[in-house]
């Protein structure tokens, strides 16, 4: 466990603005560690100058010092740069054959209308499937968690069509959007829509490599998705 982890827990207890009374046993329980380890953490933090301790009859009173606050502010700044600023994620993948479902789903006017509203183009009735390399697999997990632009699900003709989380992207420089259906069978494949048939635009065949640049937005709400 790092020093900053213990500082974060103390800050959650209110040690940024006051002295917090607790025993090393209580701290150990909160940290999921032993009393001895909790005591050692406090000793190390005190030596670093990031906390100040006052011994009491029962336990210790702890507050976070200016140096400790600066350490937490540094972490906060780092997290803000990760979550509160949009950035471009680049991945490479190979073209793979789909199951033919893309054309069916993109024939549904409710999907088409939302794509037009969210991304400003009329989607070609079909998706480009790009299988990502194992090293880039974590990107799919990140995208599934959001934040992203939501295409709402709907009911029509007695059938339910699920929602999708989407992201603006380019494929070899051609604009498009990644669609991650709520009920997808793909675990390592990006499904991409565009206003052109990207296969034909670049003369692509199954197995050909492409570069996908994904615009990953800032995290702006608690649920992790943006409504567009």
* 184-228 confidence digits (pLDDT tens): 655 689 999 999 999 999 999 999 999 999 998 876 644 344 444
Q: Which is more confident, 55 or 212?
A: 212
* pLDDT tens digits along 78-127: 888 777 777 899 999 999 987 667 777 888 889 999 999 999 999 998 89
The angle that helices 35-48 and 24-31 make with each other, rounded to 10 degrees, is 100
Residue 32 is encoded by which pair of tokens?
């999921």
Give percent of the chain above pLDDT 70: 92
Pairing relation of β-strands 159-161 and 154-156? antiparallel
Please say whether the beta carbons of 102 and 110 come within 8 A: no
Look at residue 103 in the predicted model and tell me its pLDDT: 78
Residue ranges and CATH numbers for the domains of the chain are 3-83 (1.10.10.10), 87-216 (2.40.30.30)
Its pTM surpasses 0.75: no
According to the model, what pLDDT value does residue 123 have? 93
Looking at residue 46, its pLDDT comes to 95
């Amino acid at each position: 466990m790092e020093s900053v982890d213990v500082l974060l827990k103390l800050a959650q207890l209110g040690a940024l603005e006051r002295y917090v009374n607790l025993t090393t046993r209580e701290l150990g329980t909160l940290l999921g560690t032993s009393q001895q380890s909790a005591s050692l953490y406090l000793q190390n933090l005190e030596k670093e100058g990031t906390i100040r301790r006052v011994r009491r009859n029962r336990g210790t009173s702890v507050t976070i010092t200016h140096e400790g606050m600066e350490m937490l502010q540094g972490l906060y700044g780092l997290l803000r740069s990760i979550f509160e600023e949009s950035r471009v994620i680049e991945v490479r993948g190979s073209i793979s054959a789909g199951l033919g479902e893309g054309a069916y789903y993109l024939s549904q006017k409710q999907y088409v209308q939302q794509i037009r509203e969210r991304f400003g183009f009329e989607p070609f009735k079909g998706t480009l499937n790009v299988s990502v390399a194992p090293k880039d697999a974590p990107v799919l997990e990140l995208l599934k968690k959001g934040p992203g632009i939501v295409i709402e699900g709907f009911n029509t003709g007695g059938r339910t069509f699920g929602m999708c989380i989407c992201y603006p992207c380019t494929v070899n420089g051609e604009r498009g959007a990644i669609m991650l259906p709520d009920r997808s069978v793909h675990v390592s494949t990006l499904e991409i829509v565009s206003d052109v048939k990207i296969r034909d635009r670049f003369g692509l065949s199954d197995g050909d490599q492409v570069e996908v640049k994904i615009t990953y937005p800032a995290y702006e709400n608690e649920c992790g998705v943006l409504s567009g």
